[in-house]
Structure 1
Amino acid sequence: MKLRRLGRSDIEISAVGLGCWQFSEGFGLAGGFWEALPAETVQEIIDASLLGGINWFDTAEAYGNGRSERALAAALTRLGKKPGDVVVATKWLPILRLASNLGKTIDERLACLSPFAIDLHQIHQPFALATVAAQANAMADLVEAGKIRTVGVSNFSAKRMRAAHAALARRGIPLVSNQMPYSLLDRRIESSGVMAAAKELGITLIAYSPLAQGLLSGKFHDDPSLIRGRTGPRKYLPGFRAKGLERSRPLVDELRKIATAHGVTASQVALNWLAHFHGDTVVVIPGATKRRHAEENVGSMGFTLSQAELGRIDELSRQFR
């Protein structure tokens, strides 16, 4: 799998990473979206990802209060990986915290991920008891102390992203990424100014929920009853209801048509489009709860969509901007 630079850093990452939200062991608000996965399954998912060329993994403090971080580190260790073999990204949760909390909790993050370093540390949400500049400066302190390699943000608007970029630039440190919800069923970052700002500033956009939590696979269109048995609140989201399924059906039908032509799946076409339509600006972090899901993720970069196919998908998904 071809590698890309992470923002304006010297780190190279695969166009597809593995999102590790689902390793939360069912703990907490974030973990409640997923059933707890056995350690053996986690290891199989990570093994398949590595074998397919994925070289980076995205987790967070909020994913089970460190449980996802520990599960990731344990699986990588069992698979024989050493510090420096992979790129690890995690996130600090700023809600109801001051910027000084970044320095107070970084050792806990490092302990959860031990022996692996934090290559990318991200501010998970824009909601904090501190200014963007204060949080950026606290992150810069961690870079200068050698605790982390690079700085990113998540769920930041174009205005907040620019503010973080400017504050870090004053310390001679780049803002390398902004992790945002982005899929063919949620293209709002294209109309909100986030995409344009990222391209201007050389910031990588990390697309989370790139398959709209499974909607783009088409399985819920085929059998809407499947959603009723799913763990967590997904079943209540508008896209999973009858009206939402009908709205997205023409796009899913086209994804399947294109997938058939390439001998792949609709999900793989959706990921391929995200990772290529905007050049190297967007990378994707689909999750996986089974080994075959991870294998499907890595296979999404093994074919090339034509300009006509890219354009047709663009046309059918513009309503979701």
Structure 2
Amino acid sequence: MIGSATIPLRRLGKSDIHISALGLGTWQFSKGNGMVGRYWPVLEKQEIQEIVNISLDGGINWFDTAEVYGKGKSEEGLADALNSVGEKADDALIATKWWPVMRTAKSIPKTIDERLDALKGRTIDLYMVHQPYSFSSVRAEMDEMARLLKDGKVRTVGVSNFNEEKMREAHQVLANHGYPLVSNQVKYSLVDRRIEKDGTLDAAKELGITLIAYSPLEQGLLTGKFHKNPDLIKKMSGPRKHFSTFKPATLERTKPLIDLLDRLADEYNVTTSQIALNWLIHFHEDTVVAIPGATKKHHAEENIGTLTFKLSQEHLDEIDMVSRDVSIK
């Protein structure tokens, strides 16, 4: 068991790996490197260690990173943090991703040792194709991923940002090699439910593929703090302040949802963000898990608090109804 908390685990796709309903997203560990690394403030080594340690103690047993997050700096920072806590992290699971843009599938086997080096020799439990855009076909990419599985370089394979058609194709190619496609990492939240309309969610349920929701709090919109104090938007670091997510029209449109989340937070004696995340990991039973990030200790504490309760079916349905009225059409 990881940490001191006993949290029910879920099967990752049709693999033999079991994960907590929340993982920790570690894009913010990028150390300001690369284009995407500048999105977040730079976290010091001690801050990263504290966030990882709190997550482990709270029952989170897996961590999501990627090659493109700071050009490997996120992977390195995560590995250092896990290694620093000793035996507690022996069973910690790592998901990382190959960056396909401007590359061919031949890059997959050529760069896998770089990923393992960045992770300081820790196991890659889930290896994903980060985007559907490359110079190679889905078939070619999955053929190379199957070779990594056969060679024992990675334990399982997934994809990210794949639509229903491409996800089904990836699933079939891997199945022809005798392996399951275990996951698809997609954008999903109470204000962005497009995977429910485009067939991705239904196909995942049909095929037994776990959906990993990123941006589950919409960059902080679903915490409710920007609705209560819009001046906070001006103080945000990075480019987020300019996103349509934080425009006055969006705040106004989503206010009925925030009001409901606030009311339920009071009723359950939790936070608004914990209600939003709890809905996400329970409304579709075990199909959807989520990877909120954390740039401060209290963010990590909020994340793990989400795992300590479950919304009633009545409240899950009530949130569903209000969310549909305010989510992206």
Q: Same fold by TM (over 0.5)?
A: yes
Partners of 1:83 and 1:212 in 2: CA distance: 29
Aligned position for 1:47 = 53
Task: Tell me whether 1:232 sits opposite 2:238 in the alignment.
Answer: yes
Alpha carbons 2:12, 2:183 under 8 Å: kept: yes
Aligned position for 1:245 = 251
Q: How does 1:117-266 map to 2 (within 5 A)?
A: 117-266=123-272
Q: Which residue identity does 2:78 align to in structure 1?
A: L
Partners of 2:67 and 2:266 in 1: CA distance: 39
Aligned counterpart for 1:111 among listed residues 113, 117, 128: 117
Alpha carbons 1:83, 1:117 under 8 Å: kept: no
What is the aligned residue count? Answer: 321
Partners of 1:227 and 1:66 in 2: CA distance: 29
Alpha carbons 2:56, 2:88 under 8 Å: kept: no
Partners of 2:186 and 2:22 in 1: CA distance: 15
1:227 offset after TM fit, Å? 1.3
- Give secondary structure in 2 for the equivalent of 1:149: coil
Alpha carbons 2:32, 2:41 under 8 Å: kept: yes
Task: Tell me whether 1:270 sits opposite 2:276 in the alignment.
Answer: yes
- Give secondary structure in 1 for the equivalent of 2:213: strand
Task: Tell me whether 1:32 sits opposite 2:38 in the alignment.
Answer: yes
Alpha carbons 2:26, 2:74 under 8 Å: kept: yes
Alpha carbons 2:109, 2:148 under 8 Å: kept: yes
Unaligned runs of at least 5 residues, structure 2 = 1-6
Partners of 1:84 and 1:49 in 2: CA distance: 14
Q: Which residue identity does 2:149 align to in structure 1?
A: V
Q: Which residue identity does 1:314 align to in structure 2?
A: D
Alpha carbons 2:125, 2:155 under 8 Å: kept: yes
Q: Which residue identity does 2:114 align to in structure 1?
A: E
Alpha-carbon RMSD: 1.0
- Give secondary structure in 2 for the equivalent of 1:118: coil
After TM superposition, the structure 1 stretch with the greater mean CA deviation from structure 2, 129-138 or 225-234, is: 225-234
With over 3 angstroms needed to count, the CA separation of the structure-2 counterparts of 1:102 and 1:82, relative to structure 1, is: farther
1:82 offset after TM fit, Å? 7.5
Q: How does 1:15-30 map to 2 (within 5 A)?
A: 15-30=21-36
Partners of 2:142 and 2:89 in 1: CA distance: 26
1:213 offset after TM fit, Å? 0.6
Aligned position for 1:97 = 103
Structure 1 runs of 4+ with >6 Å offset = none
Sequence identity percentage: 57
Partners of 1:81 and 1:207 in 2: CA distance: 29
Alpha carbons 1:83, 1:115 under 8 Å: kept: no
With over 3 angstroms needed to count, the CA separation of the structure-2 counterparts of 1:169 and 1:76, relative to structure 1, is: same
Aligned position for 2:4 = none
Unaligned runs of at least 5 residues, structure 1 = none
1:96-120 Cα distance to aligned partner (Å, 9 max, x none): 0000000000000000002311000
Partners of 2:90 and 2:183 in 1: CA distance: 20
Task: Tell me whether 1:62 sits opposite 2:68 in the alignment.
Answer: yes
Partners of 1:81 and 1:54 in 2: CA distance: 15
- Give secondary structure in 2 for the equivalent of 1:153: strand
Provide the TM-score with structure 2 as the length reference.
Answer: 0.96
Aligned position for 2:290 = 284
Alpha carbons 2:51, 2:300 under 8 Å: kept: yes
Q: Which residue identity does 2:147 align to in structure 1?
A: D
